[in-house]
Amino acid sequence: MKIKLYDKTFEVSLPAKEIDEIIAEMGKKMNKDLEGKKPLFLCVLNGSFMFASDLMKHITVEGTEISFVKLSSYSGVQTSGTVRELIGLNENLEGRTVVILEDIVDSGITMFGTKATLSKMNPAEIKIATLFFKPDALKRDLTLDYVGKEIPNDFIVGRGLDFDGLGRNYPDLYTLCEE
Ligand code: IMP
Ligand code: MG
């Protein structure tokens, strides 16, 4: 099936049912790994809203909490370029096991920076869980603790991921068609 967003056409590359299974598997693994750790899940908005919602239904670990953060990007004064500030975090991370929930890791720059920011708040450990990962695009030395599915270096939408604000609502994953 195909969808059109603005002037671009996208085609289903991973059906919703398969994504559901991938997320259920990840949840099972987390339930084993995180037992006794009272994990704090951090959903990175907007892209991860659907992934977080689907995943959390599978988590049975005692003391599980979830919070929602956003990365506001603005042009910083630093020469390094864009500074992404983490907003909406009200929890004390001291001594906590934090599990970041991300929709997709592309270059890895976003997660690398986010992990560095959260590290300063003295958590016991930080784990990264991403629904999708483009290994060929990775530009940072980044450990991903949970990867739903590795995908080719193509532009995708659906399951929370957007193209300029559109496409987040589709349960299937779509890939941009060539030409
Ligand atoms: P990174 O910093 O390059 O790893 O980029 C990660 C962020 O870019 C993700 O959180 C997404 O919001 C966005 N992104 C990367 N690849 C795609 C894609 O194929 N479709 C939609 N958004 C993407
Ligand atoms: Mg994102």
Instruction: Look up the CATH number of the domain holding residue 25.
Output: 3.40.50.2020
* Close Cβ partners of 178 (under 8 Å, ≥ 6 residues apart): none
Q: What is the pLDDT of residue 78?
A: 45
Domain of 50, in residue numbers:
16-152
**pTM for this predicted structure:** 0.95
Atom of ligand 1 nearest to the CA of 44: 10
**What's the pLDDT tens digit per position in 18-50?**
999 999 999 999 999 999 999 999 999 999 999
Question: How many C-beta atoms surround the C-beta of residue 168 within 10 A?
Answer: 17
Does ligand 1 lie within 6 Å of residue 109's CB atom? yes
**What's the pLDDT tens digit per position in 47-98?**
999 999 999 999 999 999 999 999 886 644 444 556 678 999 999 999 999 9
Does ligand 1 lie within 6 Å of residue 54's CB atom? no
Does ligand 1 lie within 6 Å of residue 73's CB atom? no
Ligand 2 center from residue 10 Cα (angstroms)? 19
Assess if residue 7 is contained within a domain. no
Ligand number nearest CA of 104 is 1
Assess if residue 77 is contained within a domain. yes
Assess if residue 159 is contained within a domain. no
In this predicted structure, the answer to whether residue 11 has a pLDDT above a threshold of 90 is yes
- Considering its fold, how many domains does the chain have in total? 1
Assess if residue 174 is contained within a domain. no
Q: What pLDDT band is residue 141 in, cutting at 50, 70 and 90? A: very high
Q: What residues form DSSP beta bridges with 73?
A: 84
**What's the pLDDT tens digit per position in 96-139?**
999 999 999 999 999 999 999 999 999 999 999 999 999 999 99
Assess if residue 164 is contained within a domain. no
Q: 116, 92, 89, 115: which is closest to 102 by C-alpha?
A: 115
Q: Give the environment of ion ligand 2: residues with CB less than 5 A.
A: 47, 103
CA distance linking residue 50 with residue 59, whole number of Å? 15
Assess if residue 10 is contained within a domain. no
Question: How many C-beta atoms surround the C-beta of residue 139 within 10 A?
Answer: 10
In this predicted structure, the answer to whether residue 6 has a pLDDT above a threshold of 80 is yes
